[in-house]
Chain A
Amino acid sequence: MPILIFADHDNASLKPATAHAVTAAAKLGGDVHLLVAGRNAASAAEQAAKLAGVAKVLLADDAAYEHALAEPVAALLVSLAPGYSHVLAAATSVGKNVLPRVAALLDVAMISDITAVVSADSFERPIYAGNAIATVQSADPVKVITVRTTAFEAAAATGNAPVESVAAVADPALSSFVSAELSKSERPELTSARVVISGGRGMQSGDNFPLLEAIADKLGAAVGASRAAVDAGFVPNDYQVGQTGKIVAPDLYVAVGISGAIQHLAGMKDSKIIVAINKDEEAPIFQVADYGLVADLFKALPELQQAV
């Protein structure tokens, strides 16, 4: 049976996370179909059609799907699910919101945040903030799964799948979109950046984040933060890297003024190279860092900006 992936997009373009879910789906065996549910979402569907390994794109274009509200989108997915062995989505805020609703409506268990496909019915997923890895097996007729994007490479944009329209289903009309406050940035997206530089409580104030941003701009990096820095109001919530924030695994992760609580490590410890800059040499972040620099960040950061 084919596999259905629920695409994450903003109508104009496909989120990079979806390309990682395609790679996970390819390991399950079966044709991969991608559902793009949106409003005026033809260009997102076109990008979806280019992902290698996608056999078909389903486009449900309707006003009810413009903001990916969980209630109407889950109703649509449930109507399509009987033809599929698996329903997947990237574990983004949209996937995490919608897929459990789909699973419950199908009366099946859900498997969150898989990091490996063992077989078509068995998967690895992190528990306890990544301090243990569980292998779970599902006997349900449809497996509903979110995919941790850092654990799977992105599918290449070398495909050319047909786009087929599917009809909208009745909107349960339980919710409505009011507004969105999206952070605007010229820098790469945190979850897909090659280099991430994050600040923690040690930054002392949001006014000091430009010290990180100046380095980020030289390296083409995204800027992240620990929970402490977000809770203190230094930066907005979408900067948060950690167990319950964003999970990142860039080639280079630079942790500045971050002590390294397990909840933060859960979000970045799969990075290829980790650099820690902290004035406390006992900080637990040094236990996972490839290169540790014990220094006052207010001295080290301007030097680093000069040197890179």
Chain B
Amino acid sequence: MKILCAVKRVVDYNVKIRVKTDQSGVETSNVKFSMNPFDEIAVEEAVRLKEAGKATEIVVVSIGPAQAQETLRTALAMGADRAILVQTDVTTEPLAVAKVLKALVEKEAPGMVILGKQAIDDDCNQTGQMLAALLGWGQGTFASKIAAGDGKVAVTREIDGGLETVDLKLPAVVTADLRLNEPRYASLPNIMKAKKKPLETITSDSLGVDVTPRLKTLKVAEPAKRQAGIKVPDVATLVDKLKNEARVI
């Protein structure tokens, strides 16, 4: 079974982002970028499925600017076999990404698509569900365990009340949650090897997909700041403040 993974280049999770003064967006120049952490988990899962003999080939895709090549190289160093960059400088929305991925799935015919459940920049949590919809496939979102069987996959999902397991007919789309696995660090020899793995760059036009955003961003603003509070010397003072000042207990 071939597995297709989608990865996004995002502002690194450790970066404290700054809103641009003209409120047009978030400052992204001179900022560290990395692979979206949930996508790293998705790639790791694909690599583990291949190591377990359940997958034969891993194709990793990114839709974004030329620099997303670095993100794809990271995925190749983790163990993906080849990469496709759908290059665009447009800010991509989940629906557009899902349409691009659908076009690629039709070309590549994978048995499963694994993506992160959410990108940590736009926090949308939509792309996997949208891709499954467009393909007419089943979806296993927020996965904390994947058990691939014959013609189906059992996906254990993190839900509000605990865990839920569903069976999906293959092919299917799975989105990775935090507890699915712990992604490996690519070793130096694998980073070197990844430089020689095939990385194809194409455009969304060549796939016949319109990636123009549907939503208009009117402004991006700083959230209301919390006032820093006070330190209390002991538990008795804390309880007194909560009872008599804040009146919450």
Contact check: which of A136, A139, A219, A290 meets B246 at CB < 8 Å? A290
**Are A178 and B133 neighbours in the complex by a CB distance under 8 Å?**
no
In the complex, what's the smallest C-beta–C-beta distance from A190 to chain B, in angstroms?
A: 8
B141 at the interface (CB under 8 A from A): yes
Contact check: which of A113, A176, A291 meets B167 at CB < 8 Å? A176
**Are A180 and B232 neighbours in the complex by a CB distance under 8 Å?**
no
B161 at the interface (CB under 8 A from A): yes
**Are A174 and B172 neighbours in the complex by a CB distance under 8 Å?**
yes
Q: Which residue of B lies closest to A265 (CB)?
A: B226
Chain B contact residues, majority secondary structure? mixed
In the complex, what's the smallest C-beta–C-beta distance from A125 to chain B, in angstroms?
A: 8
B33 at the interface (CB under 8 A from A): no
**Are B117 and A244 neighbours in the complex by a CB distance under 8 Å?**
yes
Contact check: which of A130, A246, A251 meets B223 at CB < 8 Å? A130
Collect the chain A residues with CB atoms within 8 Å of residue B238's CB: 275, 291, 293, 304
B94 at the interface (CB under 8 A from A): yes
Cα distance A135–B169 in the bound complex, in angstroms:
38
**Are A291 and B249 neighbours in the complex by a CB distance under 8 Å?**
no
B211 at the interface (CB under 8 A from A): no
**Are B218 and A136 neighbours in the complex by a CB distance under 8 Å?**
yes
Which one of A139, A175, A231 has the highest number of Cβ atoms from chain B below 10 Å of its Cβ?
A: A175
Collect the chain B residues with CB atoms within 8 Å of residue A286's CB: 228, 231
Which one of A126, A128, A182, A281 has the highest number of Cβ atoms from chain B below 10 Å of its Cβ?
A: A128
| Tier of interface size on chain B | 35 or more
**Are B17 and A132 neighbours in the complex by a CB distance under 8 Å?**
yes
**Are B239 and A308 neighbours in the complex by a CB distance under 8 Å?**
yes
**Are A135 and B221 neighbours in the complex by a CB distance under 8 Å?**
yes
Cα distance A99–B164 in the bound complex, in angstroms:
18
Collect the chain B residues with CB atoms within 8 Å of residue A303's CB: 234-236
Interface stretch (choices A19-27, A42-50, A104-112)? A104-112
Interface stretch (choices A79-87, A89-97, A203-211)? A89-97
| Residues in A111-134 with C-beta less than 8 Å from chain B | 111-113, 122, 126-134
**Are B126 and A237 neighbours in the complex by a CB distance under 8 Å?**
no
In the complex, what's the smallest C-beta–C-beta distance from B88 to chain A, in angstroms?
A: 17
Q: A101-B132, A128-B26 are in contact. Are A108 and B214 (CB under 8 A)?
A: yes
**Are A252 and B123 neighbours in the complex by a CB distance under 8 Å?**
no
In the complex, what's the smallest C-beta–C-beta distance from B51 to chain A, in angstroms?
A: 22
**Are B229 and A195 neighbours in the complex by a CB distance under 8 Å?**
no
Mask, B216-231, CB within 8 Å of A = 1, is: 1111111100101111
Contact check: which of A108, A113, A122, A293 meets B235 at CB < 8 Å? A293
A35 at the interface (CB under 8 A from B): no
Q: Which residue of B lies closest to A111 (CB)?
A: B215
Interface pairs (20), CB distance under 8 Å: A67-B166, A101-B129, A104-B131, A104-B133, A104-B134, A128-B121, A132-B221, A174-B138, A176-B167, A177-B166, A179-B164, A180-B164, A238-B158, A238-B161, A286-B231, A288-B226, A290-B246, A291-B238, A291-B241, A293-B238
Kindly list 13 other residue pairs between chains A and B, CB separation below 8 angstroms, not including A275-B242, A293-B235, A294-B231: A67-B164, A93-B159, A100-B133, A104-B131, A111-B215, A127-B220, A134-B217, A136-B215, A176-B167, A237-B144, A237-B163, A244-B177, A246-B160
6 cross-chain pairs, A with B, having the tightest CB-CB distances, nearest first: A174-B138, A100-B129, A104-B130, A290-B229, A109-B214, A100-B126
- Which A residues form the contact surface with B (CB < 8 A)? 67, 69-71, 74, 92-94, 96-105, 107-113, 122, 126-140, 172-183, 191, 195, 219, 227, 230-231, 236-238, 243-244, 246, 251-252, 262-263, 269, 272-275, 281, 286-295, 300, 303-304, 307-308
